[in-house]
């Protein structure tokens, strides 16, 4: 199979349907209750739908290992959404899959409430989420936009001298500090036209509720998509899990901590590329509904690979294909909620890191939205009717004034 280890391909070698007894583990296995407003389910559904579509589009372009964070990407783009107006706003809102009747205040309030409770859901899981906006000292950001970032997104809003190396160091250090050092660099340079970076950092570290036995980890076969076979370190254990078969895949769910958080592993019966292309919000809901119907965590003999990787993906093309078009256009972008200057989004990218071993999982993501001043093109084609003038510059005396409708006419 292709090395899309986002799906954490596992080989299930057998199982018994005996429920895990309370004596086998001393943890509280009752997940914390998260209380949200009535809009929350729709917003979470939108975030999932957006994330699945984005992952699908990025996955089409690579056969390498891939991991993305829908929550990090949508959070950074939500901050941008608050600065968009007119068609730019509508396009980005549709890209994020929000329903037509939902306004930005509802989105902000729900996001703030959701994040607060996610961070507090399980004291046995380490999770952090941070937002920031770094902008060029001379660039004027509207106070109303700064207020939204600090109040609704708890963001660190800071002016920096982008011409100094210290600015680059500050931005990269922020990314490192908020991902426990797993993503030490997100920018290698700052463009002379860049005026603002909107950033989200998400970090997760959870120990398996039922851990793998390190002494059983050993080399074993892993079958690639092209049929070749390689040897990898496989973890083995009798793991409290939930299992189902849906949408052409064998699926297992393994919890962390007190079970608020879990890993869902999907092993396609056929091609992984076909499965990824079919994995949309409705399929995801079918899978999770099937898992949620099971009240108990049952023991399964699980064998899956240890792995660790990081990657960086620019998302401009994928986001434009999803409908976020004008924001990337110097001539069409309307980011007037941020500033009166002529600005546009030059890039959106995500850096990610993941490590899975016998103890648990550590994952991190930083999403960066770069906002840039619209600069004048070096090209100036005079290829349609035009007006010309001849003047004396020191007095600004207008001496001749004319227009050319057809250069071939005498």
Residue-wise pLDDT tens digits, 152-190: 999 999 999 999 999 999 999 999 999 999 999 999 999
pTM: 0.86
How many angstroms separate the CA atoms of 6 and 69, rounded? 11
Q: Decide: 211 and 131 in contact? Cβ < 8 Å.
A: no
Q: What tokens appear for 377 in the block?
A: 């093109």
- The neighbour count for residue 80, using CB atoms within 10 Å, is 23
Residue 15: pLDDT band (50, 70, 90) is very low
Q: What is the pLDDT, as a whole number, of residue 24?
A: 43
Q: Closest Cα partner for 183 from 20, 397, 349?
A: 349
Q: Is a pLDDT exceeding 90 seen at residue 357?
A: yes
Mean pLDDT of 274-289: 91
- Can you count the helices (H) and strands (E) in the chain? 9, 14
Residue-wise pLDDT tens digits, 64-123: 888 999 999 999 999 999 999 999 999 999 999 999 889 999 999 999 999 999 999 899
Q: At what angle do helices 40-59 and 70-81 cross, to 10 degrees?
A: 110
Mean pLDDT of 395-402: 60
**Domains defined for the chain, CATH in brackets:** 1-376 (3.30.497.10)
Q: Closest Cα partner for 346 from 115, 229, 235, 190?
A: 190
Q: Closest Cα partner for 366 from 146, 186, 148, 201?
A: 201
Q: Is a pLDDT exceeding 60 seen at residue 273?
A: yes
Q: Decide: 376 and 401 in contact? Cβ < 8 Å.
A: no
């Amino acid at each position: 199979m292709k090395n899309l280890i986002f799906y954490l391909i596992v080989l299930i070698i057998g199982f018994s349907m005996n429920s895990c007894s309370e004596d086998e583990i001393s943890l509280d296995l009752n997940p914390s209750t998260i209380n949200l407003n009535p809009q929350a389910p729709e917003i979470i559904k939108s975030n999932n739908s957006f994330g699945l579509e984005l992952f699908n589009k990025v996955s089409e372009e690579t056969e390498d290992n891939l991991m993305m964070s829908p929550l990090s990407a949508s959070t950074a783009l939500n901050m941008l959404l608050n600065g968009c107006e007119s068609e730019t706003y509508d396009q980005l809102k549709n890209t994020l899959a929000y329903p037509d009747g939902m306004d930005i205040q509802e989105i902000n309030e729900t996001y703030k409430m959701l994040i607060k409770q996610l961070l507090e859901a399980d004291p046995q899981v380490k999770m952090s989420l941070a937002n920031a906006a770094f902008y060029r000292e001379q660039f004027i950001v509207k106070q109303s936009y700064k207020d939204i970032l600090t109040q609704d997104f708890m963001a660190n809003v800071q002016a920096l001298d982008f011409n100094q190396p210290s600015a680059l160091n500050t931005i990269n250090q922020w990314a490192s500090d908020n991902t426990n050092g797993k993503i030490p660099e997100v920018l290698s340079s700052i463009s002379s036209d860049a005026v603002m970076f909107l950033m989200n950092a998400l970090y997760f570290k959870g120990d398996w509720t039922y851990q793998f036995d390190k002494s059983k980890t050993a080399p074993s076969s892993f079958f690639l998509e092209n049929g070749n076979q390689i040897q990898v370190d496989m973890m083995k254990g009798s793991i409290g899990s939930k299992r189902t078969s849906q949408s052409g895949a064998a699926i297992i769910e393994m919890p962390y901590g007190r079970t608020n958080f879990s890993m869902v592993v999907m092993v396609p019966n056929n091609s992984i590329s076909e499965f990824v292309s079919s994995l949309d919000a409705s399929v995801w809901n079918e899978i999770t509904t099937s898992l949620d119907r099971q009240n108990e965590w049952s023991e399964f003999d699980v064998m899956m690979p240890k792995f660790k990787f990081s990657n960086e993906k620019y998302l401009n093309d994928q986001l434009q294909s999803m409908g976020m078009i004008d924001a990337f256009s110097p001539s069409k972008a309307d980011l007037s909620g941020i500033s009166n200057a002529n600005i546009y989004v030059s890039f959106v990218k995500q850096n990610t890191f993941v490590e899975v071993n016998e103890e648990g999982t550590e994952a991190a993501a930083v999403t960066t939205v770069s906002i840039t001043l619209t600069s004048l093109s070096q090209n100036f084609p005079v290829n349609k009717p035009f007006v010309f003038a001849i003047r004396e510059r020191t007095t600004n005396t207008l001496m001749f004034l004319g227009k050319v409708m057809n250069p071939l006419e005498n």
